[in-house]
């Protein structure tokens, strides 16, 4: 059965001291919970991964990277490879975030390559996608999301899907305080699960966790997560505050 996942994307926030303080607080909060069917993940910046991982190692909090390069190694100044991530014990990486797509020109084709490299290195991929406001206004959102998913991850074999988590993040809801309504999220998530079912069959579709991201807060998490096809969230702003993030985790319990 698929699990709830509450993942905190710290983005380009938190220096080393702030990262340590946040993970310590979060570990203490998570240690006091009984997580039966919920995974908790945080994704700090690259420079803070090792320290955060060390502080989280005896807890249920998992640590993920926010990005990685598609090549094995070589002359790619400033980049980080999958092998570097696994060499520090990481098990997951976020790929395809809309900020990477928008500000760093990451295309579906590039993301397909990154996904392949990550999986070849046994990294779980939290694969993000979502429409911009104009797509929704013009009622193209289902079409846009379908094409991001097909072009980014439908080249995979069914067996690879045990290492895939999907994250629907409508761009108009990221950092804006405006969330998709629980119904809008459910409609899209059901559509996504339908696409996966069509391509890979019922088992893969039923087992993949589909997260919602975009202005999830303690006040709205429970209602969004209560929808059938919403299996948790990818959290930005609220993940930078341990008590807010902790309350969002509680919304899955």
> Which residues are known catalytic residues?
97, 169
* Largest pairwise CA distance in the chain: 48
Interface with ligand 13P (CB under 6 A): 9, 97, 169, 174-175, 213-216, 234-238
Encoding tokens for residue 99? 């900020």
Cα 232 from Cα 210, distance rounded (Å):
7
Residue closer to ligand 13P, measured from CB, 175 or 201: 175
Helix, strand, coil shares of the chain as percentages rounded to 5?
Answer: 50, 15, 35
Q: Based on CB atoms, which residue is closest to ligand 13P, 238 or 249?
A: 238
Q: 96-104 long-range contacts, Cβ below 8 Å, gap at least 24?
A: 96/127, 96/128, 96/129, 96/148, 96/152, 97/9, 97/66, 97/67, 97/128, 97/169, 98/128, 98/129, 98/130, 98/169, 98/171, 98/174, 99/11, 99/174, 100/67, 102/171
Q: Nearer Cβ to ligand 13P, position 95 or 216?
A: 216
When the beta carbons of 53 and 98 are compared against ligand 13P, the nearer one is: 98
Residues in contact with 192: Cβ distance below 8 Å, sequence separation at least 6, in sequence order: 145, 149, 166, 168, 210, 229
In the bound complex, what is the minimum distance in angstroms from residue 174's beta carbon to ligand 13P? 4
Nearer to ligand 13P by Cβ, of 23 and 205: the residue is 23
Minimum CB separation from ligand 13P for residue 34, in Å?
Answer: 25
Q: At closest approach, how far in Å is the CB of 201 from ligand 13P?
A: 29
Residues whose CB falls within 8 Å of the CB of residue 109, separated by 6 or more in sequence, listed in order:
151
- Smallest gap, in angstroms, from Cβ of residue 202 to ligand 13P? 29
Residue (of 81, 197, 174) closest to 128 by Cα position: 174
User: Which single residue brings its beta carbon nearest to ligand 13P?
Assistant: 236
- Decide if 208 contacts 193 (C-beta within 8 A): yes
- In angstroms, the CA 33 to CA 36 distance is 9
- Residue placing its CB nearer to ligand 13P in the complex, 23 or 238: 238
Any idea which residue has 């059901």 for tokens? 190
Query: Residue 214 Cβ, how far from ligand 13P at the closest point, in Å?
Result: 5
Q: Cβ of residue 129: shortest distance to ligand 13P, in angstroms?
A: 11
């Amino acid at each position: 059965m698929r699990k709830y996942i509450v993942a905190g994307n710290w983005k380009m926030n938190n220096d080393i001291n702030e990262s340590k303080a946040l993970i310590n607080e979060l570990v203490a909060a998570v240690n006091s919970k009984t997580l039966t069917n919920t995974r908790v993940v945080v994704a700090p910046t690259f420079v803070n991964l090792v320290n955060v991982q060390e502080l989280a190692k005896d807890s249920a909090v998992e640590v993920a990277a926010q990005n990685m390069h598609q090549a094995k190694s070589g002359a790619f100044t400033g980049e980080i490879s999958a092998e570097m991530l696994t060499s520090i014990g990481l098990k997951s990486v976020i790929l395809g975030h809309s900020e990477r797509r928008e500000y760093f020109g990451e295309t579906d084709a590039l993301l397909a390559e990154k996904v392949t490299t990550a999986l070849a290195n046994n990294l779980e991929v939290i694969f993000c996608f979502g429409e911009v406001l104009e797509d929704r206004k013009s009622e193209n959102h289902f079409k846009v999301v379908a094409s991001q998913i097909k072009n980014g991850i439908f080249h995979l074999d069914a067996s690879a899907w045990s290492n895939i988590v999907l994250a629907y993040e409508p761009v108009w809801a990221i950092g804006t305080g405006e969330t998709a309504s629980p119904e809008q999220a459910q409609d899209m998530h059901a559509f996504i699960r339908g696409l996966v079912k069509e391509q890979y069959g019922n088992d893969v579709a039923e087992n993949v966790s589909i997260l919602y991201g975009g202005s999830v807060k303690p006040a709205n998490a429970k209602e969004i997560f209560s929808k059938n096809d919403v299996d948790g969230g990818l959290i930005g702003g609220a993940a930078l505050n341990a008590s807010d993030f902790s309350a969002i985790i509680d919304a899955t319990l």
